[in-house]
Chains A and B, each alone.
Chain A
Amino acid sequence: MIRIFGEVSMSSGRGSSRKIFTLVLLTLIACESPPNQQSEIFTSSDSLAAARLDSLRQHDPYVKYSFVERQGENLFDHYCAVCHGSNGEGDGFNSYNLDPRPHSFADTTYMRALSDATLAEVIARGGRGVNKSVLMPAYTQTLSADRINQIVAYLRTFTR
């Protein structure tokens, strides 16, 4: 773009003033920023987000979970997986000693009926707090609300 201005001014120039034009041209060229390989990402407005996400995935094939989900995964594997199973299918090694057995988090219809707030409440207050089995302990004194929300985010990945 800047170079075009340079050419316009060139075409209007004549003999004796050439030195001045050259000077101006050089100044303009000096002002120009280096070529930008990435700017095409921003040309098509609708696909901007998709393009950015795509390029992120391409560079980073290991990003299966978001940050919050990964934090939730660590917590889930530590506290929950013994009963709920590391795939959330309610088949942890200790689930066989429990009556009622834990429900599968991979069950889409079951999970769709539960809001995030409900899930967080069950984790915080335990089965006893929501009139369900006392075998599910309450975590409100052990995990902060943020940590519990991270677990909820991770629970959602089982039906994704």
Chain B
Amino acid sequence: MKNLNRTYAIASLLFLIVLAVSPMKNYFREWRAVQKEYSRMAAALPQRVKPAPMALQQIWVRDLNRIDRCTTCHLGVADQKLATAPQPFQTHPKVAHDVESFGCTICHGGQGLATEYAEAHLPTTFLDEPVLPNRYLESSCGVCHKGATPSETAVLNHGRELIQKSNCVACHKLSGVEKNFVPSLDGIGSKVNRSWLVRWLKNPREFRPKTLMPDFSISEDDAGLLADFLMSFKAFSQDTKLDSLPPVYHDRKDEEAFVNQGQTLFRLARCISCHAVEGRGGKLAPDLAKTASKTNATWIYNYLKNPQRLQKNIEMPQYGFTDEQLAAVTAYIANEFGDWEAPKDTSGIHEPAPNFYARGLQLFNQYNCGGCHTLSSAKIVENLGPELTNIGGKKLYAIDFGHADIPRTLHDFIYTKLKTPRLFRETLRMPKYAFTEDKLQAITTALLARREVALPSSHLVQEKSAGRYEPQGAVGEIIHKYACLGCHRINGRGGDIAPDLSVVGSQLQPQWMERYFEVPYSLRPIVEERMPTLFIAKTEVKTLLDYFYSVLLDDSLAASNELFDFSQTTLEKGKALFWEKYGCQSCHQIGGSGGYVGPPLDQSGTRLQPAWIYHWLLNPQKYKPQTLEPRSGMSDEEAKAVTAYLMSLKGEVVQ
């Protein structure tokens, strides 16, 4: 009995101790230490701030089904007075989404419900989505903003551009990304020579440092087999045959006068607007410096004559050269653009190995060359890498880190994969790209954004569908022939290099435009790319102008063309506003004085339509959201006066 009593007493005591454990544990919680630290910090501040609540805090976002307790420690998130406080107490910078209605983990990742540092921030056994490092933070923007990217997310946008430009989609499925133009390999045997091709396959960047083609690090033997395989494709698609070079080429190709004529035409056509020569010139097309060591004269001649015949969909205009002019340009390229440092080809006549075709085809398929380049051979099979559509949501257990010694996180995996693709295993196929640190970071961000998160559809900002603009008939033919949409955009389709032409008929005067086609000059010195001289036929110009002035219009601009008063007094008033009130000369030049950020306005009276000037002055961003010109806040009256002044400027352009 006594024994029993004692046992009972001890058991009761133990029970009390056990009861005490829970409040004890609670008292020693990590977040209490942080909140105490907050109180100490707040007491030392000159300004009065809200005291620590000494309790767990949480934000419940019903729409997104998230409960985030981050504000338990991050106490200053919504308090502007703590903008300079040390972390974790600092004010959250102002962003488009407020913390109360979006919570924290939707953007930053981590475990919202956790109340301990490690569980909330670091990868743990049960949750492998640690807090995203700041450098990849913009990836969270991309989860909702699928296509229409806000201008604030520069890194994400850059990454998305790079994914498009590097043609990742050739080997990896990625929803919403379109394949890039990559030259077709049909007829490559009639275009290049074998020794160049071997060199190129071994390391493309050695020949052309800025090429987009990655380095597959293939061996000398494999490169030889692949080159033999490719050189066997002599015929172009659709029964296209190369024209032979005209007799004048053979007669005069080494004559200095003839080569000089080619050089003059090369300059007149402004080839270097798109092509660089030894690194100097445009960035849109390949560097021509060593072209003659790669391609033969017959191919160059035929290509210049009609680029799209040999290379479907290429964005190179078909210049209106005569055969003799073409021969002269060909002679210039063949003479001037050799590779003087190329290793001498001493192998003599090359005899391909007996099984070169089968082995070459096998290599071609192994590295999925057909993902980028088309080649009309029935045996080409698609051999894709892993799909990347949901790569940002990939679980750690599904990632093969191989023998790479890197932190076990998804972002480190993607980053390393892009930087040194074969670090994980030598047998991997992914080629090496020359991405800089910034680019690696940007692409990683854009890939991390590719994660499916359960969100209400109201939160998703869907992609704008690409423009479906497709001009038909004679106009369509001309626009296609001169590759206008390579640089200009019309109704949502085309490039961003040159001005948008969607309402060009309401902006420019027809007489000016007609002259411009004959001798295009650069309106905006700030833009490196120049409009090429296309040697375009007069009838074609007329067809285009008819189209511009009957279709590419903005009717709201036409209506106000009669509103202007061009009297001397208004004009003088406009002049004073231009020079003395709004300081337009900081960007625009008139009579040789002023800046050159915007186009010079010497000729604005013969170039522009008054209604366009007027509406542009009132709100430049309405027509071109990215323009540098700020909205000046001019009154209606003032804008009309400045329009009158600009319309009076009809001077000859200073070239």
A contact set with B: CB distance below 8 Å: 1-2, 5, 9, 12-13, 16-17, 20-21, 24, 27-28, 31, 33, 36-39, 41-42, 45, 48-50, 52-53, 56, 59-60, 62-63, 66-68, 70-71, 74, 78-79, 82-83, 93-94, 97-98, 126-128, 133-143, 146
Contacts and interface: CB of A to CB of B under 8 A. Distances in A.
A41 B117 contact: yes
Interface string B522-554: 000010000000000000000000000000000
9 contacts: A24-B14, A24-B18, A60-B134, A62-B437, A136-B583, A137-B582, A140-B633, A141-B631, A143-B630
Contacts of B116: 33, 36, 38-39
A47 B487 CA distance: 56
Contacts of B651: none
A5 B586 contact: no
Interface string B584-602: 0111010001111100000
A48 B37 contact: yes
Contact of A94 (B586, B593, B633): B586
B10 A134 contact: no
Contacts of A21: 14
Contact of A134 (B30, B581, B589, B628): B581
B343 interface: no
B621 A53 contact: no
B633 A2 contact: no
Contact of B118 (A1, A27, A38, A45): A38
Contacts of B133: 59-60
A138 B152 contact: no
Top-5 shortest CB links A-B: A49-B86, A134-B583, A135-B586, A141-B631, A97-B595
B134 A12 contact: no
Contacts of A83: 586, 595, 597
Contact of A53 (B11, B30, B34, B87): B87
B580 interface: yes
Contacts of A137: 582-583, 586, 630, 632
Nearest to A62: B135
A70 B151 CA distance: 12
Nearest to A92: B597
Contacts of A53: 86-87
Contact of A141 (B596, B626, B630): B630
Contacts of A66: 93
Given A24-B18, A38-B121, 18 more contacts: A1-B24, A17-B11, A36-B116, A38-B117, A38-B122, A48-B37, A52-B88, A59-B133, A68-B93, A70-B154, A74-B151, A79-B628, A82-B628, A97-B595, A97-B596, A133-B583, A136-B583, A143-B630
B11 to A, nearest CB: 6
Interface in B23-80: 24-25, 28, 30, 33-34, 36-37, 40-41
Contacts of B30: 36, 39, 42
A62 to B, nearest CB: 4
Contacts of A38: 116-118, 121-122
Contacts of A33: 25, 116
Given A79-B628, A137-B630, A45 B581 contact: no
A88 B181 CA distance: 39
A34 B154 CA distance: 40
A52 B87 contact: yes
Interface in B123-177: 133-135, 151-152, 154
Given A38-B117, A38-B118, A82-B628, A98 B37 contact: no
Contacts of B593: 97
Contacts of A2: 21, 25
A13 B593 CA distance: 99
Contacts of B586: 83, 94, 97-98, 135-137
Looking at chain A's contact residues, the main secondary structure is: helix
Contacts of B36: 45
Interface in B1-33: 3, 7, 10-11, 14, 17-18, 21, 24-25, 28, 30, 33
Interface of B: 3, 7, 10-11, 14, 17-18, 21, 24-25, 28, 30, 33-34, 36-37, 40-41, 86-89, 93-95, 116-118, 121-122, 133-135, 151-152, 154, 437, 441, 526, 580-583, 585-587, 589, 593-597, 621, 626, 628, 630-633
A59 B118 CA distance: 15
Contacts, number: 144
A121 to B, nearest CB: 15
Given A94-B597, A137-B630, A16 B7 contact: yes
A7 to B, nearest CB: 12
A16 to B, nearest CB: 7
B597 A82 contact: yes
A138 B86 contact: no
Nearest to A21: B14
Contacts of B580: 134
Contacts of B526: 82, 93
Contacts of A1: 24, 28
Nearest to B441: A62
Among A94, A140, A143, max chain B CB count under 10 A is at A94
A50 B37 CA distance: 13
A56 B134 CA distance: 9
A79 B86 CA distance: 32
Nearest to A96: B595
Nearest to B122: A38
A130 B30 CA distance: 52
A122 to B, nearest CB: 13
B117 A9 contact: no
Contact of A127 (B18, B41, B583, B630): B583
Contacts of B7: 16-17, 20
B500 to A, nearest CB: 18
B33 to A, nearest CB: 5
A37 B135 contact: no
A134 to B, nearest CB: 3
B15 to A, nearest CB: 9
Contacts of A37: 118
Contacts of B121: 38
Given A137-B583, A137-B632, A52 B86 contact: yes
A41 B623 CA distance: 54
A74 B154 contact: yes
Contacts of A9: 14, 17
Contacts of A45: 36-37, 40
A23 to B, nearest CB: 10
A135 B93 contact: no
A122 B87 CA distance: 32
A29 to B, nearest CB: 12
A43 to B, nearest CB: 8
A56 B137 CA distance: 14
Contact of A31 (B21, B596, B630): B21
A63 B134 contact: yes
A21 B18 CA distance: 12
B418 to A, nearest CB: 15
Nearest to A123: B630
A151 to B, nearest CB: 13
Contact of A142 (B14, B587, B621): B621
B160 to A, nearest CB: 16
Contacts of A136: 583, 586
